[in-house]
Amino acid sequence: MSSTPQATAAPAATAAPATVRAPATVAPGSAAAASGSGRERLPIELCKGINGLDKIVLREVRGSSAEVYLYGGHVTSWKNDHGEELLFLSSKAIFKPPKAIRGGIPICFPQFSNHGSLEQHGFARNRIWSIDNDPPPFPTSTSAKAFVDLILKPTEEDLKIWPHSFEFRLRISLSPAGDLMLTSRIRNTNADGKPFTFTFAYHTYFSVSDISEVRVEGLETLDYLDNLQNKERFTEQGDAITFEAEVDKIYLGTPTKIAILDHEKKRTFVLRKDGLPDAVVWNPWEKKAKAMADFGDEEYKHMLCVEAAAVEKPITLKPGEEWRGRQELSAVPSSYCSGQLDPRRVLLGS
Q: How far is the C-alpha of 262 from the C-alpha of 267, rounded, in Å?
A: 5
Of 220, 203, 191, 173, the C-alpha closest to 305 is 203
Amino acid at 270: V
In the three-class reduction of DSSP (H, G, I as helix; E, B as strand; rest coil), residue 106 is classed as coil
Interface with ligand TA6 in residues 202-221 (CB under 6 A): 203
Answer yes or no: 246 catalytic: no
120 touches ligand TA6 by CB under 6 A: yes
Which CB sits closer to ligand TA6, 8 or 227? 227
- DSSP string over 18-40: EEESS-TTSPTTSTTTB-TTSSB
CB of 93 to ligand TA6, least distance (A): 11
How remote is the C-alpha of 12 from its chain's centroid? 24
CB of 147 or CB of 251, closer to ligand TA6: 251
Binding-site residue total for ligand TA6 (CB under 6 A)? 11
Q: Residues with Cβ < 8 Å from 51, sequence gap 6 or more?
A: 9, 10, 95, 96
Query: Contact with ligand TA6 (CB under 6 A): which of 44, 280, 304, 306?
Result: 280
55 binds ligand TA6 (CB under 6 A): no
Residue of 60, 67, 307, 328 with catalytic role: 307
Q: Which of 115, 164, 203, 263 is catalytic?
A: 203
Q: Kindly state whether residue 248 participates in binding ligand TA6, applying the rule CB under 6 A.
A: yes
249 binds ligand TA6 (CB under 6 A): no
Q: Is 229 in the site for ligand TA6 (CB under 6 A)?
A: no
Residue from 55, 74, 115, 121 touching ligand TA6 (CB under 6 A): that is 121
Residue 11 to residues 39, 74, 95, 167, Cα–Cα distance (Å): 37, 20, 11, 33
The least CB distance from residue 248 to ligand TA6, in Å, is 5
Mark whether 45 is an active-site residue. no
Select the span of 31-39, 113-121, 135-143, 151-159 touching ligand TA6 (CB under 6 A).
113-121
Closer by beta carbon to ligand TA6, 190 or else 227: 227
CB of 120 to ligand TA6, least distance (A): 4
Name the amino acid, one letter, at 22: A
| Closest to ligand TA6 by CB, 98 or 163 | 98
DSSP-assigned states of every residue in 217-244: ES-TT-EEEETTTTTEEEE--SSPB--S
- Among 69, 78, 202, 282, which residue interacts with ligand TA6 (rule: CB under 6 A)? 282
- In the chain, what's the furthest Cα-to-Cα distance? 59
Binder to ligand TA6 among 32, 58, 89, 100 (CB under 6 A)?
A: 100
Nearer to ligand TA6, 87 or 131 (CB): 87
CB 196 within 8 A of CB 94: no
Q: What distance in Å separates the CA atoms of residue 197 and residue 314, rounded to the nearest whole number?
A: 6
Q: How far apart are CA 341 and CA 161, in angstroms?
A: 47
Interatomic CA distance for residues 205 and 281, integer angstroms = 10
Residues 67, 179, 262, 307: which binds ligand TA6 (CB under 6 A)? 307
Residue ranges in contact with ligand TA6 by CB under 6 A? 100, 113, 120-121, 203, 227, 248, 280, 282, 305, 307
| Residues assigned a catalytic role | 203, 307
